[in-house]
Chain A
Amino acid sequence: MRAGTRMQAAARIAFMALVAAMLFLFFTNDFGLVDIHKTSIVVAVGVDASESGYRVTAQAAVPTPASGEGSASYTQVTGSGATVADAIDDINAKTGFYPKLAFCNLVILGESCAEKQLFTVLDYFYRNDYVPLTALVGICRGSAEELLAQKPSDGGMSSSAIQRAMSEELKNSANASTINLKLLAQDAGSPSRSSYMPVIKYSGGGGGGSTAATPAGTSGSSDGGGAGNSAEFTCLTTAAFDGGRYAGELSEEQSFALNLLRNDIRLAVMNVEHDGKNYTVALKNNSCKTEVGSEGGMPVLKIKFRAIANVQAAETRPAAESSANSHLVPEEVLAAASSAIEQRMRSLAEFCVSNSCDLLGAGSMFYRRFYSDSLALDGRVIDVLKTVYDIRVGSVR
């Protein structure tokens, strides 16, 4: 009984001490943690390689005082360092705000990064637990800093406009080879060792201000949007990497074929020429299956593509035989569409072979299905790959 009472007394004292400690922590509120007041919410990061290391440009959303109507002001700050992490620390030192990358949904690599090992550049983003692997990745011509400094036509953040150019909708219509950090690394880490990312280009523009690496960097806000030269961003071509090394750039047609192969395409639109006239054909119910086989230990890739097409627009208005429905596609146009798709895929396959860059994923498939044959080929499946195409496009009925 006495022991119980003593225990209760001890528990009461411990409880009081705990309450006091909690209240102390609550009101002092700091043990090295970074709250919303000390944070800059980085939404996009641009990385440029230089001789001395890296320059990282962070585009951060800036809170404006409560009187505003939810404006989307932003600031852009550049830091430099021997590594990407070092450069980000530099940004912290320059601004005093801790750059939180938890909301960073875009990583842009400058052209200079193509000369380096891709995963050396991106290493920081994979090591850091607080960077989401869902962040989109793209490469641009020129410097990433300059690209981020462009002012889009809606006057908002360039990163938002770029993300729109790499959106899921564009990916699902085969117009952009959108990829995120996770898929990029998975592709590179697969037996194919090849990965890709969209090439971001902009037209018009001229910059939203100085892009010099001043401590404060550039800044802007939605209030001033629309003025001056506004930039339009596109991601129609694709950069290919093999083992993390830049292997070349796919054309728009090759990128289209790559997207058909790698992504779940809902509606793709392509132009087909038949009899000297242009037809714009929409491909629906796309199904692209790739299957790898082994013939005498050699890989054979079978690409089976099925889609249903309708005519969206044509230079002349064709009507199918015995039908008044103008969206029905004539057999000749369907054949031309099939042929165009096959041609694009062949072109992609040629690119892959000539650059030893297995964007088709044949190496991975071969590894998974014919492990011993794959080992015998020492991983260079793409060099001996035979490709068989089975492409059929039918008309809506």
Chain B
Amino acid sequence: MQLSVAIEKIKGVLVSPDVITYEFSSEEGKKFALVYVDGLVDKAQLGELVVKPLSSAPRGATAREIRAALASPEVKECSGAEAAVKEISYGGAALLCDGEDTVFITGIAKPPGRAVAEPPTQIAVKGPREGFTEDIKVNCALVRKRIKSPSLRMDTLRTGRRSDTAVTVCYLADVCDEGIPQKLKRQIERNEIDFVADSSYVGRFVSSRPRSLFKRCGTCEKPDIFCAKLSEGRAGILVDGSPIALTVPYMLAEDFQSSEDYFISCYRATILRVLRALAVIAGMLLPAVYVAAQLFKLQLIPFKLLLNISSSVSGLPLSPGVEMFLTLFVLEVLNEASVRMPKYVGLAISIVGALVLGETAVNAGIVSTPAIIIVAFSAICLYVVPDLVETTATLRWIFLIIAGSIGTFGIVLFIGLLLCYLVTEQAYGVPLCAPFSPLVPRDLSDGPIKRDMFALTRRPKSLNAKNKVRFKKK
């Protein structure tokens, strides 16, 4: 095929000024053209590994000779403009040769992206600090850097009608239940969407109940956690463009575990796990119980504290429920604003929130001091387990409404309902509430309590891994 015709074909599809065509000839007059997307390709390498070697190509060089001349370590051959267009979009540079039908795609992509850094949501005082980036290749490399086992599988597939986003399913072939990656791939392929902006989209694709308040995939931003989960028998999902990796099967208990638990003393880790659980329970229930106690059961409050609370709420124009509703509403607004606002405005918002809204509202007699203390404490408590905040913050609202309507009885009933709902829910064959329900005594040693590394000789039974032994002494 003539070079100009081939270029025309590709340019006909990729009609955009950022698609650059660079035509050049060898010393003997053989014509070539490189088509690539500006900004996605490392131009220096392109010159060094493609253009320079081809400058000495003979006029009648065949496709095989041209292929041999290329110094680029990653060269793919494809025939036809459509395939070439796809590869160009992924960041490859298409090499067209005059008189040849074959198009060579050189893998010297260098898309813009940030460097590997510590993720803001999973900071560890002790332990590795590398975090995933938005580049799936970097992320895969970070995983491979930690797991050198040949059984590590990274099956890449693409989803998104227009974004054509790469999704890599990672698992250890000799550990993970083989049904899990297969089902994952099926689930991902079954969905067709225009654009996959983040891994959370894929999270919904692979979930059996995507509308549920409770997620069905674990999330992590650090390759060390990701690899640890793979080695327990889970499968992981990396999505191009997202620094958040997904893991399945997911159990509620795993959000109460932190990577640091495995690096510090098991006693301290156990205390921290219990603390996290208590903090989340307190964060969800405290505003509700406070309202229920004031409205329906004063005895829940110690007498002297009741006198103080009674003093604080005396003369307030709002009922206890509405007062708490308002305070929580303000907290959520401040939270939302401070996350979205630029940093310098965020500081102003904090001052306005803390001083103006907080103190002035108390002085003006709109809300009481205990209500503000409780809401603030509740907010802090929920962020002890940041991965669950979406769920727990929503539940906090529900508990508040129920407590303000029917009191502590409502709270107990709703806990019962939640329990009833959660115990039979499962993700990829693993119950969400495992190892508590169904009770797996052995798995409790890395659940609410954290036993030392030598005691965790076997992989979690709940995950039904192929290879059961995790640790043994030689």
Contacts and interface: CB of A to CB of B under 8 A. Distances in A.
Interface of A: 22-23, 25-27, 29, 33, 35-37, 39, 41, 61, 63-66, 68, 70-72, 100, 102-103
Contacts of B315: 65-66
Given A35-B319, A65-B315, A66-B311, 6 more contacts: A22-B405, A26-B325, A37-B319, A63-B307, A65-B311, A71-B311
Given A36-B295, A102-B298, A41 B405 contact: no
Interface in B295-329: 295-296, 298-299, 303, 306-316, 319-322, 325
B128 interface: no
Given A26-B321, A29-B321, A36-B320, A63 B295 contact: no
Nearest to B400: A26
Contacts of B298: 36, 39, 41, 100, 102-103
12 contacts: A22-B401, A25-B404, A26-B401, A29-B322, A35-B295, A37-B316, A37-B319, A39-B298, A41-B307, A41-B310, A63-B312, A71-B311
Which secondary structure dominates where chain B touches chain A?
helix
A27 to B, nearest CB: 7
Given A29-B322, A35-B319, A63 B314 contact: yes
Given A22-B402, A26-B405, A36-B320, A102 B299 contact: yes
A66 B362 contact: yes
B322 A70 contact: no
Nearest to A72: B307
Contact of A64 (B303, B314, B320, B362): B314
A103 B401 contact: no
Contact of B294 (A36, A65, A72): A36
A160 B322 CA distance: 34
A37 B402 CA distance: 20
B391 interface: no
B368 A29 contact: no
Residue with the greatest number of chain A CB neighbours at <10 A, chosen from B303, B306, B307, B322? B307
Given A63-B313, A66-B312, A102-B298, A25 B307 contact: no
A35 B368 CA distance: 16
A66 B319 CA distance: 16
A35 B322 CA distance: 13
A26 B402 CA distance: 7
Contacts of B294: 35-36
A26 B397 CA distance: 12
Residue with the greatest number of chain B CB neighbours at <10 A, chosen from A37, A39, A64? A37
Contact of B295 (A33, A41, A61, A103): A33
A70 B309 contact: no
A63 B321 contact: no
B303 A103 contact: yes
A287 B307 CA distance: 40
B306 A103 contact: yes
Contacts of B406: 25
Contacts of A39: 298
A27 B324 CA distance: 12
A8 to B, nearest CB: 11
Contacts of B295: 29, 33, 35-36
A63 B313 CA distance: 8
Contacts of A23: 401
A65 B310 CA distance: 9
A100 B314 CA distance: 16
B99 interface: no
A349 B65 CA distance: 123
A27 B322 contact: yes
Nearest to B301: A36
B353 interface: no
A234 B161 CA distance: 87
Interface string B1-14: 00000000000000
A99 to B, nearest CB: 12
B311 A70 contact: yes
A41 B295 CA distance: 13
Interface string B368-410: 1100000000000000000000000000000001101110000
Contacts of B365: 65-66
A71 B314 CA distance: 13
Given A22-B401, A41-B298, A64 B311 contact: yes
A36 B309 contact: yes
Residue with the greatest number of chain A CB neighbours at <10 A, chosen from B320, B362, B368? B320
B311 A63 contact: yes
A39 B296 CA distance: 11
Contacts of B368: 66
Ordered nearest first, which 3 A-B pairs have the shortest CB separation?
A25-B405, A63-B310, A63-B314
A33 B307 CA distance: 20
Contacts of B362: 66
Contacts of A72: 307
Contacts of A71: 311
Nearest to B406: A25
Interface in B331-367: 362, 365
A26 B404 contact: yes
A33 B403 CA distance: 13
B324 to A, nearest CB: 10
A383 to B, nearest CB: 45
A29 B401 contact: no
Contacts of B312: 63, 66
Contacts of A22: 401-402, 405
A373 to B, nearest CB: 45
A64 B315 CA distance: 9
Residue with the greatest number of chain A CB neighbours at <10 A, chosen from B310, B316, B322? B310
Contact of B314 (A35, A65, A70): A65
A102 B321 CA distance: 22
A61 to B, nearest CB: 5
A29 B311 contact: no
Contact of B313 (A26, A33, A37, A68): A37
B362 to A, nearest CB: 7
A22 B402 CA distance: 7
Contacts of B320: 35-37
Interface string B270-308: 000000000000000000000000111011000100111
A29 B400 CA distance: 13
Interface string B46-77: 00000000000000000000000000000000
A327 B306 CA distance: 46
